[in-house]
Structure 1
Amino acid sequence: MHLVTLIPGDGIGPEITQSVVDIFAAAQVPVQWETHNAGETALAESGSLLPQPLYDSLERTKVGLKGPVTTPVGKGFKSVNITLRQKYDLYQNVRPAKTTPGINTRFEGIDLVLFRENTEGLYAGLEVYDERLGIADSISRVTVEGCRKICQAAFAFASKHGRKHVTMAHKGNILKNAGKLMLEAAREAAAQYPEVTFYDDRIIDNMCMQLVGKPEQFDVIVTTNLFGDILSDLCAGLVGGLGVVSGANIGDNMAIFEAVHGSAPDIAGQGKANPTALLRSALMMLEHLGEKEHATRIEKALNETFLHKEQCTGDLGGKASTKEFTQFIIDKL
């Protein structure tokens, strides 16, 4: 039995979280949940965006599944997501993007995985504002160690999963030093994994153009924090949007899997939410826990449901509620 910290989150978070819990129960997945919340709901209940019992649970289980959380804007609070990533050095943000029959998109044959460095760069939190001069400085901190770790992770993943092509996206023509560190780290990793037969690098603006023109040419992509944040949403748009893609934050000692979309307070409690993104993230979690058979079985039921448009939620062209969509998946297990 695997202990997992469950973070329902805000807005539609509790609804889609319940969907995952129900599907896992029906599939008899050997997971025991420890439920602790974060975000606005937790702030209202406990006075903290990230209550201590949540930290205690994560440090005990080492694995978390997190629904979408809301950090209040303009009130001085640091992002919940960034806080967790930096506190536990969850340096890998892993975002698969794959076309799925039944989900209508402009492209076919996309099957790529993006590795985004998750703790450094422009999101390092090194900002200074000079009110007198009206100048805000945001420092992008990139380290040799951070570049090495994310590039090693990307190539190790490619090697493990039989993927032959890794592309590193950068802006080394302008950001000379930061670009150099990533380029050197990627070349280092490429030399250590000769079974990954094709390594190349692309300047970030060209990378964006290539992705919207011929995305099927890419396999594994690795990049820095800000570029990865942008590219991961771009890749999601190629395969159906944020509502159908999974995401993981992985470190050496802990992993938190999450829905990558927002909390959608405008439809909260209305039974309209699509739980696919969180469910797919939960399936990534099962593979991380060594429960691949359970993950494959649930994935087959989910993909079969996509083929019946009337059984899907409204954002996928159907009329099913969150609970009905969940039940259709369970019926196919």
Structure 2
Amino acid sequence: MQSATQDFLAELDHFEGRGVTSVKKVAVLPGDGIGPEVVDAVLPVLDLLQVPVELTYGDIGWGYWRREGAPVPERTWALLDTVDTCLLATITSKSPREAEAELVGSLQGQGIRYVSPVIQLRQRLGLFANVRPVENLQGHGRPYRFAVIRENTEGMYAGFDYAGDAVPAALRSVVGGHANVVADARQDLGVSLRLVTRLGLERLLRFSFAYARSHGHSLLTWADKPNILRSSSTLAREVLEEVAIEYPSIAVEVQDADAVAMWMVKRPERFGVIVAESMFGDVLSDLGAGVMGGLGLAPSGNYGQHGSYFEPVHGSVPHLAGSDRANPSAMLLTVGMMLEHLGFGDAALEIPKAVRSVLSRGESLTYDLGGGAGTKQSADALLAACGPGSVQQPTAAVLTVGDELLSGAVEDTNTTQAARLLTGHGFHVRATATTGDPLSDINRTVRGLLGHDLLVVIGGLGPTSDDRTREGVAQALGVPLEHHAEAWTAVQHRLKRFGLAVHQDNERQAFFPAGSEPLPNSNGTAWGSSTTADGTRVVMLPGPPHECMPMLQELLDRIAPASKPAEHPHWRTLGLIEADAAALVDQAVQAEGLMLTPSYLWAYPYVDIALPVAVGEHPGLEARVDRLLNGHVVSRRRLTAAEELRVHPGKPVISLDDRLTGGLAAERLPSAADAGIAVQVWSDEPLTVTDGQAWVGTVTMHCEVRINDLTHTYALTAPKRGPEVVDMAADFVAWSVLRACAGEGDAHAGR
């Protein structure tokens, strides 16, 4: 390839951030399976980020093997010689027997041997290093960011794998003394060799140290089995120690590969760069994908002496091809790796930021992440998040602490109030939780909620032995508790002011996680604190609502002043169930060709519908929804029918409280005489039930509203689901008066 990576030193220069940013040429190989659709879905990001990249599409994959007997045709190799790098989507590989059977008839029996295109690319381009970044993209738990770098050309995958008669005599003599071989009268065996060379180790380790330094990692872990593979591991360790001297700022450790696997799951944040030979690296890199949420989030890059290529690692998944279900995230992240390699570092950083934003909000997720979005919908959300001027809404979580909350002995009002305050200050509240007082429970729950921009922890800051929140938060953040003299002085002063004794245990309230900003409490003794770690601000507050809520309000006013919330199109409907409303509105969204998810809230007797866009942004959609919901909309401003009637200029407030109990008969309701309004309401059967009857079926209510000499008639059929149907009747009458005042509904001359 004609690129700055034609020699190894130039490759390292890219990782040191010295790559040039002129127009770059990229070969795009969509492959087969889900490859073409994920490529098409994400490549518009190059225009969004305005990077000077020239794309040329090439041929690779199973279809070319079947038709031409070459999964990588010669024209593709010629293309690769003219570009700076290659973006490979996905390719299908099958066993030699299946590959032979699927060749076109004229090619069968010609002795053509199938070799995976991936292996061909790595061998022909000398790609010895496979890089698999692993990052907490979903925002659940403590942030982590590390990479697994796997050697591609030797180790257990060097190709020395034999079985049966193919085992060389020299190898048979080496293994012939093994107890199992001696005991096996058939002498039927297989042998694989692990190849480790100084050349392979040196170039891999120098590459890995350069990667660690340029990506801000301070630890390099060599994952091996030195206690079992003693001789080859000793050589690897010797080379590691020699190369490490050239990188004194990076700590080095040698760990058993199985121990690394365990700690990747338990404490992924402890790692920086994990380096391993081919087989161990293969296992650990896929485990890393599992840690971060699955192969649908896993990008990769392959680097070497004569070029590079970048691919998502989820494979071609043929059974999903064309079904619009594939996760485009891995392909998009792979494009980000490619842009970084080409020298477009600033643009490359926008991509993982966008993925984190979309995933942390839990919207537009594909099936593998628990969502229902299709490939295009998910990709559109990702692209919108990394476009110019995109604003990422900060996320928040609320944790309340106390056994009394779990048992129900004390009502937890703090969660609702805190969530309301956070929402009013522009935060998207993604999670709420309650935990008991045990230290381990607090520690575990706090760790699970880290990753949001703000985590509010309420309760358990008192002076007694069961108040363990401060210890639990400190442990979760991995920092010690520190004494704060000003807070201790304030605690003593408040206690003395009320004539209370100052006990030694009271001093517990002056300890906060190291690096915290103490938060004064003007309404109580226990102060709170604000601690920022790994991108999450963790705020601890005392439990009493009259103490914690003013403290939270004061903090939010300082760090995130409330702004007028964006107005979204909203409809409050009566006489629709949630499923019927969703069917109508979803139909409108699809008809407008938009990729957005309306929200539906069933708050009897209403269904509230909102669109996640600004008012007036899509007038055609709003008009379409208005038409579809015609006859059911009570309010566009989140008011009940009674509230709308109350604020309607010059219209009477009609009391219904005593008129709709015990059944709905034909009755005249009180009205303001000067308004000239009279109301008559009845139903086809009583709204209540007597002993032995059940709340079943439906009931139809009728309302006549007479304004001067004109009578308007309305009807509403509702499920007879319980006593609350009376509330629906009351709202129906108020709504009927509203519509009559507006001149809506069937009207005829008075009797």
User: TM-score, normalising length from structure 1?
Assistant: 0.93
Does residue 123 in structure 1 map to residue 154 in structure 2? no
Q: Corresponding residue for 1:35? A: 57
What one-letter code is carried by the residue in structure 1 that aligns with 2:145?
A: D
Give the Cα–Cα distance (whole angstroms) in 1 for the partners of residues 350 and 84 of structure 2. Answer: 24
Does residue 159 in structure 1 map to residue 159 in structure 2? no
SS in 1 for 2:193: strand
Mean alpha-carbon deviation: is it higher for 319-328 or for 259-268?
319-328
How is 1:177-196 mapped onto 2 (pairs within 5 angstroms)?
A: 177-196=231-250
Q: Tell me how far 1:312 sits from its aligned partner.
A: 2.1
Q: Corresponding residue for 1:327? A: 380
Asked whether the 8 Å contact 1:128–1:136 carries over to 2, the reply is yes
What one-letter code is carried by the residue in structure 1 that aligns with 2:151?
A: E
Q: Corresponding residue for 2:339? A: 286
SS in 2 for 1:168: strand
What one-letter code is carried by the residue in structure 1 that aligns with 2:208?
A: A
Give the Cα–Cα distance (whole angstroms) in 2 for the partners of residues 110 and 317 of structure 1. Answer: 22
Give the Cα–Cα distance (whole angstroms) in 1 for the partners of residues 130 and 267 of structure 2. Answer: 23
SS in 2 for 1:61: coil
Q: Corresponding residue for 2:285? A: 232
Mean alpha-carbon deviation: is it higher for 268-277 or for 29-38?
29-38
Give the Cα–Cα distance (whole angstroms) in 1 for the partners of residues 62 and 256 of structure 2. Answer: 38
Give the Cα–Cα distance (whole angstroms) in 2 for the partners of residues 211 and 309 of structure 1. Answer: 24
Give the Cα–Cα distance (whole angstroms) in 1 for the partners of residues 45 and 213 of structure 2. Answer: 31
- The superposition leaves residues 212-246 of structure 1 with CA deviations (integer Å, 9 ceiling, x where unpaired) of 22222111111111000000011111111111021
Aligned partner of 1:242 among 295, 298, 301: 295
Aligned partner of 1:95 among 101, 109, 132: 132
Q: Tell me how far 1:66 sits from its aligned partner.
A: 0.8
Aligned partner of 2:123 among 65, 74, 86: 86
Does residue 298 in structure 1 map to residue 351 in structure 2? yes
How is 1:188-267 mapped onto 2 (pairs within 5 angstroms)?
A: 188-196=242-250, 198-267=251-320
Give the Cα–Cα distance (whole angstroms) in 2 for the partners of residues 109 and 10 of structure 1. Answer: 34
More contact order relative to length (CA 8 Å, sep ≥ 6):
1
- The superposition leaves residues 160-216 of structure 1 with CA deviations (integer Å, 9 ceiling, x where unpaired) of 2332111111112221222112111211121110111x2111012222222222222
Aligned partner of 1:112 among 146, 152, 167: 146
CA distance 1:230–1:23, change in 2 (3 Å): same
Q: Corresponding residue for 2:39? A: 17
Q: Which of the two has higher C-alpha Rg?
A: 2
Give the Cα–Cα distance (whole angstroms) in 2 for the partners of residues 204 and 303 of structure 1. Answer: 29
Segments ≥4 residues shifted beyond 6 Å: none
Asked whether the 8 Å contact 2:156–2:278 carries over to 1, the reply is yes
What one-letter code is carried by the residue in structure 1 that aligns with 2:114?
A: F
User: TM-score, normalising length from structure 2?
Assistant: 0.42
Q: Corresponding residue for 2:80? A: 58
Asked whether the 8 Å contact 1:309–1:317 carries over to 2, the reply is no
In the alignment, structure 2 segments of 5+ residues that lack a partner are 1-22, 98-112, 166-185, 388-751
Asked whether the 8 Å contact 1:62–1:253 carries over to 2, the reply is no
Mean alpha-carbon deviation: is it higher for 152-161 or for 40-49?
40-49
Mean alpha-carbon deviation: is it higher for 283-292 or for 138-147?
138-147
Q: Corresponding residue for 1:171? A: 225
Higher share of residues assigned helix: 1
- The superposition leaves residues 99-156 of structure 1 with CA deviations (integer Å, 9 ceiling, x where unpaired) of 0245x5xx52221111111111121112233248532222222111001111111111
Aligned partner of 1:67 among 89, 102, 115: 89
What one-letter code is carried by the residue in structure 2 that aligns with 1:26?
A: L
Give the Cα–Cα distance (whole angstroms) in 1 for the partners of residues 120 and 191 of structure 2. Answer: 21
- The superposition leaves residues 31-52 of structure 1 with CA deviations (integer Å, 9 ceiling, x where unpaired) of 1212113221221343311111
Give the Cα–Cα distance (whole angstroms) in 1 for the partners of residues 219 and 293 of structure 2. Answer: 23
CA distance 1:49–1:112, change in 2 (3 Å): same
Q: Report the number of matched residues.
A: 329
% identical equivalent positions: 36
